[in-house]
A and B are shown apart, each in its own frame.
Chain A
Amino acid sequence: MRWLLVLLCACQVPTNGPLEQLALDRPFFDCRVQPVLTKYCSALACHGHDQRFFRVFARNRARLDANETRNAFMTSDERDHNYAAAVAVVDADDPEHSSLLMKPLDEAAGGRFHVGATMFGRGDVFAAADDPDYQLLANWVAGATEQSGCMEPGSDL
């Protein structure tokens, strides 16, 4: 009987532990993904809002430090936060169907329901998966890498 109990405990699936996260490429994120998140996600009424689980900071949008000059260069803390927030919505077991990819994709193109698609009444962020910006997100989730010196376009202006 005791050995059966031990066996049951050993087979129990942990439900409260941290979920596995993929070690997605940071330079690709900073250089290629961050501009997409800035452009499409980070507006103050959207994922720049402080009530969002997936919150994105960006120049001229929400800033981590509320006293920061709105268009000041992004800080390393903000970039760290954005990277962690994006990784957190990538499903390590099924990356292709991660929320990062499914939410902004129109349901007609295979995406999932996204409140953002209803806010302005004219569809989701990406009408189709072949959108070049969507492809950047998909490539990152699929493991694309970038040179460590890659700089986000415009970030030095």
Chain B
Amino acid sequence: MHGAWQRFVIALVIAAPAVALPYHNGSMYDRAPGAGGGGGLFFTGAQRERGWNCTACHVDAKELDVVVTSQPAELIADGRYQPSATYAITIALANAQQQLGLAATRTNFNAMVASTSAGVITGFDPGRYYARGTSILASDSTALNETSWTFSWTAPASGSVTFDIGVVDGNGGDSIGDAVAMIEITVGDAAALRAVTWAFGGLAALRNQFSVAALRSSSAILRSALATMS
């Protein structure tokens, strides 16, 4: 009886369909192209990746509202950082309850990639993320239906910094018809922004330093930012 049960279990394992999980592990971006990996391309949309982003593979994508916040809030809300300060950055689906794929018959994964042009990505759960050096982070999508991602970033001493972030709300199927948000946020060091404010004589100049350019659906971020600034 015991032997028969063992055979039954083995048969089940063999019969289980292979689940294709392309790029749900962040390390896939770093694997060799011959292994189906990205060869070091993370598709964050950054200049160093020639702007390639999630929509290169997630075709026929729907728009996605995403909210980016920071703690302390000044980094994202005001677009300024204190030199060498560390900030927690959170990226979240604006409408988590309406995410795609909840009713899918296949497993539903969402994902996030982020890169920074300067500073250091310092803090993240190694069980949930894959990092390339200290400037690129990709979610590992180990959990189903993830709707937010948080990591820490330590600012450089000075200069303008650009974050490029991509979020995919998977529909539980292949890479066609997911929802995608690509976001670019530029921030500056507080001292430089104070100088700009002084030079142009007003808060408006300071606000203009907060530059958010989203390739797709940045409305939620803009609403969030404007609400914070007003």
Interface residues of A (CB under 8 A from B): 34-36, 38-39, 43-46, 49, 58-61, 69-71, 120-125, 127, 152-155, 157
Contact = CB atoms under 8 A, between A and B. Distances in A.
Interface of B: 18, 20, 22-23, 28, 31-39, 41, 45, 47, 50-53, 55-57, 59, 174-176
B23 A60 contact: yes
Contacts of B51: 120-123
Give the residue among A35, A61, A122, A123 with the most B Cβ atoms within 10 A: A122
A71 B34 contact: no
B33 A38 contact: yes
A155 B18 contact: no
B33 A157 contact: no
A154 B32 contact: yes
Contact of A155 (B34, B41, B56, B59): B34
A155 B34 CA distance: 4
Contacts of A45: 55-57, 59
B22 A71 contact: yes
Nearest to A157: B35
B38 A154 contact: no
Contacts of A38: 33-34, 39
SS class, residues of chain A in contact with chain B: loop
A122 B213 CA distance: 14
Contacts of B35: 59, 153-155, 157
A70 B57 contact: no
Contacts of A155: 32, 34-35
A124 B50 contact: yes
B34 A125 contact: no
Which are the 7 A-B pairs with shortest beta-carbon distances? A154-B32, A122-B51, A154-B35, A120-B51, A59-B36, A154-B34, A60-B36
A64 B4 CA distance: 41
A46 B171 CA distance: 21
Contacts of B56: 43-46, 120
Name the residue in B34, B39, B41, B55 with the highest tally of chain A Cβ atoms < 10 Å from its Cβ: B34
A69 B36 contact: no
25 contacts: A35-B33, A36-B33, A43-B52, A43-B56, A46-B56, A58-B36, A59-B34, A59-B35, A59-B36, A60-B23, A61-B36, A69-B20, A70-B20, A120-B50, A120-B51, A122-B50, A123-B50, A123-B51, A153-B34, A153-B35, A154-B34, A155-B34, A155-B35, A157-B31, A157-B32
A36 B34 CA distance: 9
Contacts of B39: 35, 38-39
A157 B34 CA distance: 8
Contacts of B41: 39
Nearest to B175: A44
